[in-house]
Amino acid sequence: MELFIGNKNYSSWSLRAWYLMSKFELEFDEIQLVLDTPDFYSELKKHFTVQKVPALIDGDLQVWDSLAICEYINDAYLSQVAWPKYVTQRATARALSAEMHSGFMALRSEMPMNIRAKRKITLSDDAKKDIARIDNIFAKQQEIYPNQWMFGDFSIVDAMYAPIVLRLKTYQVTLSKAANSYCQHVLACPVLQSWITQALQETDIVDADEAGVDVKI
């Protein structure tokens, strides 16, 4: 398999697919491209109709979109273990993943993923509502599965929300104690730490994803 991704510092959608595949120790070749460059689009155009990342090639199959890739990997390689075990849990996990996939537009617009940075930002009321909803999700699941992944074991929904955890860290957002416990659990994951380490070594700047004011450490 070949997984095409963007900059690890900025590409939140790339992280979601990469995280799932790496967490379950699948073998794949990683092709990293620099976002918003001519080479980015020209390289993807050689292989895909849609020039976006992440994008997966597995034999003759092409899959784009992070959630679609996660679903395919779960079906083809993981014998369904990338969703929670019980049907009610799976339904909730899928609903939360879909909410992440199509929602939180204000937060995603105003707080782009930028792992290298530590920033302060003035948020809109809509972004604050997004954060409150995310806090509620994290806190509620921590009440059920304290100091664990959202549904106990790692699953697709955790991969979907991992970039949000990184955004909250970059922009120093204060969360409830329970929600923060989930974030700390995510940040302690060695697989995610590997991505973060590589992101910190990157030097490319994507101006569209630079938001807020630097905070001196």
**What is the residue extent of each domain of the chain?**
2-81, 87-199
Q: Splitting the chain (217 residues) into consecutive groups of 10 residues, what average pLDDT does each group show?
A: 97 98 98 91 88 95 96 97 97 98 96 96 97 98 97 98 98 97 98 98 91 84
CA distance 154 to 182: 12
CATH of domain 87-199: 1.20.1050.10
Q: Which of 11, 24, 4, 21 is nearest to 70 (CA)?
A: 21
Specify whether domain 2-81 bears CATH 3.40.30.10.
Answer: yes
Compute the radius of gyration of the chain from its Cα atoms.
17
Q: Is the pTM for the entire model greater than 0.85?
A: yes
